[in-house]
Amino acid sequence: MRKFIPVAEPLFEGNESKYLVDCITSGWISSVGKYVTRFEEDFAAYIGCKYGVAVHTGTAALHLALAALGIGHGDEVIIPTLTFAATANAVIYTGAKPILVDVEKDTWNIDSQLIEDKISENTKAIIPVHLYGHPCDLDKILEIAQKYNLAVIEDAAEAHGTEYKGEKVGRAGTISCFSFFGNKIITTGEGGMCLCNDTVIAEKIAKLRDHGMKKDKKYWHDEVGFNYRMTNLQAAVGVAQTERIDTFVMRKRENAQLYSSYLSDVEGLILPTEKEWAKSVFWMYSILLKKDHYRITRDDLIASLKKEGIESRPVFYPLHKMPPYKQNGLFPNAEYISVSGLSLPSSVTLKDEDIAYICKTITKYLHT
C-alpha cells in the first residue's frame, strides 16, 4: 500500500533537539529564557523589522496588535471575507466589528479597489491577509490607509518569506502578525509574533502580552492584559527553524513549479498565480476546478484523493457565509473560490515522485 501523503507536516532536521535539550538542562522552560529574545531578534531581522514580540499563537498576535492600537467597541476593521476565521475573531475579541470585502479573482487576496466603499467614520484599521503565501496589493492599501488615517495590520500568518516588490511582507504596515502553527513554513508547534518598527507600539504589545504588568514594577498592573507569552521551549524550536527558513521557502517554490509543470496542460484547472511584482511562498499549493467543466466536484475529488492516500483540503469558507460573521453584500469571487478550490499536499518534506503521483492521480479522477 502506498504511503499516506499529508497536506502539511513540519521538518525538524536542524538544531531543534539541541536547543530543546539546552532549555531542559538549564531549567529555563517557561516564558523567560534566552531563546525567546533570540527568536524575536532573529525573525524580526529576517523580515526586516526592528522589533519582534513572540506570543503563543498567531491569533494572539492579531488580538494584541489591535489592542495595542486601542481598537475597541464601536470601531470597525476592514478584512477580506476569504480568510481563516482567526482574522475576524481577533477583531471581535476587542469589541470591534469586522467589515468584510470581496477578494481578487486571481490572487484571492482582498480587492483593494473595493476597500474605500467600506470605509466609515468608525473605521480604524485594515487587515490585509497575504492568503496562501501570495502578497496583497500593498501600495494601494497603504495609500488608502494614509488617506483615511487608518492603521494597517498585515496578517502574514501564511507568508513567511513572501515578497512584495522585492521586500518581504510584514514590514510595510503599522504592525504585522505571523503564525508558527504546525503547518506553517516555520513552526513552534503553536506560536506567533507581532513585528513593528515603532518602539512605543512594541512596548505596548509586550506589556499587554504579560498581563498588562509594568516592566519596571513587578506585579504592578495599571491596565488589563493577557497571558499570551511564548515559552522558551517553543522559542528554541523557532530559532532552529528560522536558521533554515530560506531552505524551506526555496523548497516550497520548487514544489509549486513542479506541480505547475504537471498540471498546466490539464483543461479545467486554474493554477495559483504569481504576479510579476510578487514572490509567493505557495504556503499551500491551491487549485480551482472550473465551474461545470467536470462531472466530478471539488468535494468528490478530495474524497477520491483520500482513497489513494493523498490528503487535500477545501479552501476556507467565506466569513460572510458563517453565522458569527454573517454580512449582506456581494462577494462573488470569494464564493466561487470557496466552492471550487482545494489545497494539495505542500510540505517541504514532499519528494518529486510524490508530486508526480499526486498530479497523475488528480488527472485520472478528473477524466473519469
Enzyme catalytic residues: 184
Residue for grid cell 515522485: 353
Sorted by sequence, the CB contacts under 8 Å of residue 66 that are 6+ apart come out as 77, 90, 91, 93, 94, 96, 125, 153
Cell numbers that stand for 6 in this block: 499529508
d(CA 30, CA 307): 42
d(CA 125, CA 198): 17
Q: Tell me how far CA of residue 213 lies from CA of 4, 32, 68, 210, in angstroms.
A: 47, 15, 14, 6
Q: Count the neighbouring beta carbons within 10 Å of the beta carbon of residue 291.
A: 10
Taking the CA atoms of the chain, what radius of gyration do you get in angstroms?
A: 21
Q: Count the neighbouring beta carbons within 10 Å of the beta carbon of residue 166.
A: 8
The helix/strand/coil state of 275 is coil
Q: Count the neighbouring beta carbons within 10 Å of the beta carbon of residue 33.
A: 21
279: β partners:
163
Neighbour-count burial of 363, counting CB atoms closer than 10 A to its CB (0-12 exposed, 13-18 middle, 19+ buried): middle
Helices (H), the chain: 16-26, 34-47, 58-68, 86-93, 138-148, 199-209, 232-242, 245-263, 298-307, 332-340, 352-366
